[in-house]
Amino acid sequence: MPKVEETRLEIDLNALAHNYHVLKSNLPANTQIMGVVKAFAYGTDSIVMGKKLVSLGATHLAVAYIEEGMRFRRRGLDIPILIFYPQLEDLPKLLEYNLTPSVYNFHFLENLNAALIEHNVIDFPIHIKINTGMNRLGFDMTDVNRLTQLLSANKHVKVEGVFSHLSAAGMPEENEFTQLQIDNFKVAVEAFKRNVNTSFIAHLCNSSGILSHPEAAFDMVRAGIALYGYGNNPEEQKNLQVVASLKTRIAQLRVIPPGSSVGYDRKFKAEKTSKIATLPLGYADGISRIYGNQKAEVLLHGKKAPIIGNVCMDTLMVDVSEIECKEGDEVLIFGKQHTALAFDKEKQSIPYELITRISQRVTRVVINKE
């Protein structure tokens, strides 16, 4: 078997810079950009991406969990990092590593407050999350009055940000709902300005918000998927460049006669003489079994080849009958010239899931560092 290093994820920093500038140019000039680098920077490389985003001008980073934020601190990044999902047991680490929690309920706020009193901390920066319609995390609009009263009398925390999240910013057919969320958010922001402080950063937009509703940019935006080159509709996708390309090489080629089968459970049966290439990556590398049996296509010498049979743990097979090729030839699973959307031709998932699932055993190779 060839080594797994034959399979690699190529990360193009020029493409990241390009996308950053596309987003920037879509926004009012003074809008700050928070680079969302959760889940290994959407499956790429957290530290490389975080550092590049800072050098491009991002003023904040955001991750999901505290461990992700601590990695940046250990690697010397000292810009503000928002933790979307802090846990109660993280409180000492939030203080120690100077990470900013998203605070989305009273229970967490009370516990945070107690920890700050215990450690004699004042003005600890927090971002308050408001639920404007997503119904995932956040204080409800009906909590805002009580919340702002509590916070106005609290010297231990400092409200550095107030934010919310859009549910369907990339769906034009949901624009009315998005507008309702924007209006709710404005109401919450005004209440904080009146009752808490006037200098916090208000932020609402994710990538689709930036690209499809830039009028709702407020003070800062949280850019995720678009930085990595994917939009949530063709219009958003138009000007972006895919950052990460998952590549491998043909491990073995064989020609099989009609009636032969390929792979576990004999799911592919050749109707005619067929040329089959085995590729050294499988579901343990992040290519789900849902993509077996002609549900996805890879790119080989500029031509599309379907995945046939069941995807194995470490390998998958593609039908290359119509393609001139040899063992060792490079194959693009998905990436710049063949996006995750093209790979997932039956739209069984979304680029977010495809790219964040590329497992850590796949070697990351960074290109265009300067």
Ligand X SMILES: *Cc1c(COP(=O)(O)O)cnc(C)c1O
Residue 206 tokens read as 């994710």
Q: Which is nearer to ligand X, 38 or 247 (CB)?
A: 38
Say whether residue 100 binds ligand X (CB under 6 A): no
Q: Which is nearer to ligand X, 37 or 191 (CB)?
A: 37
Say whether residue 16 binds ligand X (CB under 6 A): no
Selected from 77, 211, 217, 225, the binder of ligand X by CB under 6 A is 225
The window from 203-211, 284-292, 301-309, 321-329 that contacts ligand X (CB under 6 A) reads 203-211
| Min separation Cβ 82 and ligand X, Å | 9
Q: Is 171 marked as a binding-site residue? A: no
Beta pairing, strands 303-308 & 220-223: unpaired
Selected from 52, 60, 127, 222, the binder of ligand X by CB under 6 A is 222
Residue type, position 276, single letter: I
The window from 120-128, 202-210, 260-268, 362-370 that contacts ligand X (CB under 6 A) reads 202-210
Say whether residue 291 binds ligand X (CB under 6 A): no
Pick left, alpha or beta for residue 138 (phi over 0 → left; psi -120 to 50 → alpha; otherwise beta): left
Selected from 84, 104, 291, 343, the binder of ligand X by CB under 6 A is 84
Contact 279, 47 (CB under 8 A): no
Selected from 44, 148, 206, 315, the binder of ligand X by CB under 6 A is 206
Contact 351, 277 (CB under 8 A): no
Looking at the annotation, which residues are catalytic? 38, 264
What is the pattern of x (binds ligand X, CB under 6 A) and - over residues 163-182?
--x-----------------
Say whether residue 139 binds ligand X (CB under 6 A): no
Say whether residue 19 binds ligand X (CB under 6 A): no
Say whether residue 82 binds ligand X (CB under 6 A): no
* Interface with ligand X: number of residues (CB under 6 A): 12
Say whether residue 223 binds ligand X (CB under 6 A): yes
Q: Is 49 marked as a binding-site residue? A: no
Please tell me the distance from the alpha carbon of residue 167 to that of residue 161, in angstroms, as a whole number: 20
Contact 151, 116 (CB under 8 A): no
The DSSP code sequence of 55-110 is: HHT--EEEESSHHHHHHHHHTT--S-EEESS--GGGHHHHHHTT-EEEE-SHHHHH
Cβ neighbours of residue 227 closer than 8 Å, sequence gap 6 or more = 16, 19, 20, 23, 35, 36, 42, 49, 53, 207, 243
CA neighbor of 317 nearest in space, from 325, 309, 329: 309
Dihedral pair phi/psi, residue 173, rounded to 5°: -70, -10
Contact 192, 199 (CB under 8 A): no
Q: Which is nearer to ligand X, 43 or 224 (CB)?
A: 224
| Min separation Cβ 242 and ligand X, Å | 14
Contact 242, 336 (CB under 8 A): yes
DSSP 38: H
Say whether residue 224 binds ligand X (CB under 6 A): yes
Beta bridge partners of 10: 245, 365
Say whether residue 126 binds ligand X (CB under 6 A): no
Selected from 7, 178, 184, 207, the binder of ligand X by CB under 6 A is 207
Report the site for ligand X in 146-165 (rule: CB under 6 A).
165
CB atoms within 10 A of CB 140: 13
Say whether residue 340 binds ligand X (CB under 6 A): no
The window from 91-99, 201-209, 262-270, 278-286 that contacts ligand X (CB under 6 A) reads 201-209
CA neighbor of 93 nearest in space, from 63, 73, 123, 113: 73
Q: Which is nearer to ligand X, 165 or 247 (CB)?
A: 165
> Which residues would be at the binding site for ligand X (CB under 6 A)?
36, 38, 84, 165, 206-208, 222-226
**Numbered residues of the known binding site for substrate:** 136, 313
Binding-site positions: 136, 313
